Amino acid sequence: MGANATMFDMLVNLYDESLLDARIQESIPGQAGYSVVRTPGILADEVASFTEQEFSPMWASETRRSLYSTPSDSYAVVYDNHIVGFCAFNATAKGFFGPTGVHHDHRGKGLGRILLVNALLSLRQEGYAYAVIGGVNEAAGFYERTVHATRIPSSDKHSIYAHMGISF
C-alpha cells in the first residue's frame, strides 16, 4: 500500500445469490493439497503468528480477536501442514470482514476468494443481511468482481478506524 493510499469501506449484500456459487469447500478443486477450515483452537497461535510474520502486528491483533470466539470467526488455508492463508471477521466490529491474506507463493489459486465467501456466508448464517469490508484500497476491484461490493460514501473520511484514533 502506498503511503498516501486512501482507504475506504465497502458494503456487501449477503443475500446476493452469487455468494451461493462458492459454498464452503474443505478442498479446493484443482488445487491438490490445499484445505480451507474454520480455524480450530489448536491452530489459533499458528494463524496469529503467520498473520504477524507475513502481514503486520496490527492485523495479527485483529485476527487474534476473531480466533478466540467459539466457533472462531476465522478461516485458514492449510497446505503441507502449514498455514498459507487466513481471514478474520467480526474482529474490528460485528459484521466486518477482514483482515485477510494469502502468502505470496500461494496467490492466484482462488484461495482468497474462497476465504472471503466462506466468511461472508458465515456472517449471513449469523443473521447479517450486509457485511462491511473495512479499510480497502488496492483490493477494491477484487471485492467488486468477487462479491459485488460497493464503496460506502464518505467512509474514507468517517471510518471506524478514525473513530478509534487509528490512522494508516
CATH of residue 50's domain is 3.40.630.30
* 156 within some domain: yes
* 91 within some domain: yes
Q: What pLDDT does residue 45 have?
A: 97
* 2 within some domain: no
Q: What pLDDT does residue 152 have?
A: 95
* 100 within some domain: yes
Are 25 and 114 in contact by the 8 Å Cβ rule? The answer is: yes
* 86 within some domain: yes
C-alpha cell at 59: 492485523
Residue type at position 12: V
Query: Beta partners for 34?
Result: 79
Name the DSSP class of 16.
-
For the chain, give the longest Cα–Cα distance. Answer: 44
* 69 within some domain: yes
* 168 within some domain: no
Residues contacting residue 143 through CB under 8 Å, at least 6 positions apart: 10, 12, 116, 133, 136, 149
- Going from the first residue of the chain to its last (168 residues), give the mean pLDDT of each consecutive group of 10, the final group possibly shorter: 70 87 57 89 97 96 95 96 97 95 94 93 96 94 94 84 62
Distance (Å, whole) CA 6 – CA 138: 9
Q: What pLDDT does residue 29 have?
A: 58
Q: What pLDDT does residue 165 have?
A: 64
* 1 within some domain: no
Taking 3-state DSSP, the helix, strand and coil percentages for the chain, each rounded to the nearest 5, stand at: 35, 25, 40
Q: What pLDDT does residue 116 have?
A: 94
Q: What pLDDT does residue 91 have?
A: 95
Number of domains in the chain: 1
Q: What pLDDT does residue 3 have?
A: 47
Boundaries of domain holding 112: 8-163
Instruction: Identify which of 161, 127, 144 has the alpha carbon closest to the alpha carbon of residue 12.
Output: 144
